[in-house]
Chains A and B, each alone.
Chain A
């Protein structure tokens, strides 16, 4: 079945540091890929998405590129802020039927001033 593997956290960075959170996936067919962010005590918010190979999703300074050859969708940001502290989930949606979403285990990011 489908699965998503992302790096374990927590990740602690200083403000303005470069962020990479690795994500790889296993899926049949051609899934859509997503990054969601969850702030403390809140639900999930879509951060960015990519629907086909070589697509780059970007939002709020974050970006991720759909790499079919390496089955990866790593999240990057050039300069993190304290307000970016949250849990980040990599996810995929299978292309058929109800398009169930499979989530990774989440990576907690803590940015310190």
Chain B
């Protein structure tokens, strides 16, 4: 149980393209999902907290107009990298927690999306 599916697993596209990444909780509902970015050989950095039915909460330094987050349902959050440039190339990972916002359960992660902007 507690499976988080992320799609696509890899994207290669030209500079200026917008890219959408989907994060789905397959067997549970998630009012809150999280989006992380991981640079090579570095840890995960939280980008934003995605809230179902309301605006995402972005971490300091993350451009909300660059990284659009939509949490349209209790099982789906999307991250759109708008007008992507080579510096946006990275590994993006989403996560969700079973049991709601105040539960003491761990987060479960998707397999990540490797984004490469040429």
B residues in contact with A49, CB < 8 Å: 106
Query: Of residues A41, A95, A99, which shows the largest number of chain B Cβ atoms within 10 Å of its Cβ?
Result: A99
Restricting to B60-118, which residues have a CB under 8 Å from any CB of A? Answer: 93, 95, 97, 101-102, 104, 106-112, 114
* Residue A46, interface by CB 8 Å: yes
Are B112 and A43 interface neighbours, CB within 8 A? yes
B residues in contact with A44, CB < 8 Å: 44, 93, 95, 109
A residues in contact with B106, CB < 8 Å: 32, 34, 46, 49, 93
Interface mask (A37-51 → B, CB under 8 Å = 1, otherwise 0): 000011111100101
Are A99 and B46 interface neighbours, CB within 8 A? no
Main secondary structure of the interface of B (DSSP, over half): strand
**B38 CB → nearest A CB, Å:** 9
A residues in contact with B6, CB < 8 Å: 43
Distance, CA A113 to CA B92, complexed state (A): 32
Interface mask (A61-104 → B, CB under 8 Å = 1, otherwise 0): 00000000000000000000000000001000101011111011
Distance, CA A93 to CA B112, complexed state (A): 20
Size of B's binding interface in residues, CB under 8 A: 23
With beta carbons under 8 angstroms apart, the residue of A36, A99, A103 that contacts B101 is A99
What are 24 of the A-B contact pairs (CB < 8 Å)?
A32-B104, A32-B106, A36-B109, A43-B6, A43-B110, A43-B111, A44-B44, A44-B93, A44-B109, A45-B109, A46-B108, A51-B104, A89-B43, A93-B107, A95-B104, A98-B57, A99-B97, A99-B101, A100-B34, A101-B107, A103-B43, A104-B43, A105-B42, A105-B43
